[in-house]
Structure 1
């Protein structure tokens, strides 16, 4: 195990951009939702830059792109509901695990670390996605963006996990791909580990000054 895990008992992970590349499926759902409200649809690269703050913000960004202005509330609601419906129909059609994810999670679980998931994705999608990859049993607790009153970059979801599992923040780690993960982790008193391959709105994750930057999760278990 990597030396940064010495004395740690809880490892929390982000989902999109950290464990899975979900943008292909998200982009399909965004395009179908915008088609329903008679708006132009973006390409996959555009959607990749919009992911990370939850489904509501994703659709708001998509609508702003299509309209070149802020959407009216009724349009925002209609587009969001359409997105949730389409994404819920096929959240795993094109989504893939990043290389080394399954190996690392199973090794960490086997070493006795408590694993938790803290994502801004709506909670209803977490279990179907993790179950698809046969990873759900590895996680003790899963928190979605709509589970609590606040989501990342707030530290509240991370502190909630630590409290629920009775583990000190100083013995906890946050692993993610975006500034929201690192900001939340630092504010919660967690050690922060960043991955450079995910979704960080075009900004290098190094600028968030994580405690450790790794190219792959397998670096934690080698």
Structure 2
């Protein structure tokens, strides 16, 4: 196993950009929302730069880009509602696992390590995605962006995990693709591991100073 796992008793994973490439489905829902509101579509390239802070922030960024200004609270609320509708109608049909994910999760489970999922995606979408991708049995606990009062980069979700499993944060590893994952992990006292292929607002995740980097999660095993 990878040296970063030495002394680790729990591995927490981010979802979008770490385990799955979900931008095609997210962009389709964003574009359907914008079109419905009479605004120009954004496309996958832009949407990939906006992912990471939950659905509401994704919609806010899309509306601000299309309008050229910060959307009103009323327009944002409507856009958020319509995005959830469009995304919920077709969760995961274009979403794919990144290479090495299944191998890594299987090997970690075989070693007896509990695995958790900590994402800023709304909780309601997690189960359909995991079931569709064959990952539903891999995680002992899943937290969405609306599971707790705070979401990443706040450390609360990770501290909740450590408490749930009765582990010291220093015995836990946070694996993610963005500065929000690394910041949350560092603030919670977790060890941090980053992958470079996900969504980090166009910035190299190495700049966030993770404790380790792997090109593929397969390197964990």
TM interval, short-chain normalised? over 0.9
What CA distance in whole angstroms lies between the structure 2 residues aligned with 1:136 and 1:87? 19
Matched, 1:132 2:127: no
Spell out the pairing of 1:35-74 with structure 2 (5 A cutoff). 35-74=35-74
Q: How many pairs align?
A: 221
- SS of the equivalent of 1:173 reads strand
Give the Å deviation of 1:6.
1.2
For the 8 Å contact 1:37–1:78, the answer to whether it is kept is no
Partner of 1:216: 216
Q: Which runs of 5+ in 2 are unaligned?
A: none
For the 8 Å contact 1:25–1:95, the answer to whether it is kept is yes
What CA distance in whole angstroms lies between the structure 1 residues aligned with 2:105 and 2:168? 21
Give the root-mean-square deviation of aligned CA atoms: 0.6
Spell out the pairing of 1:1-40 with structure 2 (5 A cutoff). 1-40=1-40
- SS of the equivalent of 2:12 reads strand
For the 8 Å contact 1:104–1:217, the answer to whether it is kept is yes
TM-score by length of 2: 0.99
Q: Which runs of 5+ in 1 are unaligned?
A: none
- SS of the equivalent of 1:192 reads strand
Extract structure 1 runs of 4+ deviating beyond 4 A. none
Partner of 1:166: 166
1:124-173: CA deviation from partner (whole Å, max 9, x where unpaired): 00010011111111100000000000000000000001101111101100
TM-score by length of 1: 0.99
- SS of the equivalent of 1:196 reads coil
1:2-29: CA deviation from partner (whole Å, max 9, x where unpaired): 1111111100000000000000000000
- SS of the equivalent of 1:136 reads coil
What CA distance in whole angstroms lies between the structure 2 residues aligned with 1:182 and 1:136? 25
Matched, 1:175 2:175: yes
What CA distance in whole angstroms lies between the structure 1 residues aligned with 2:218 and 2:20? 15
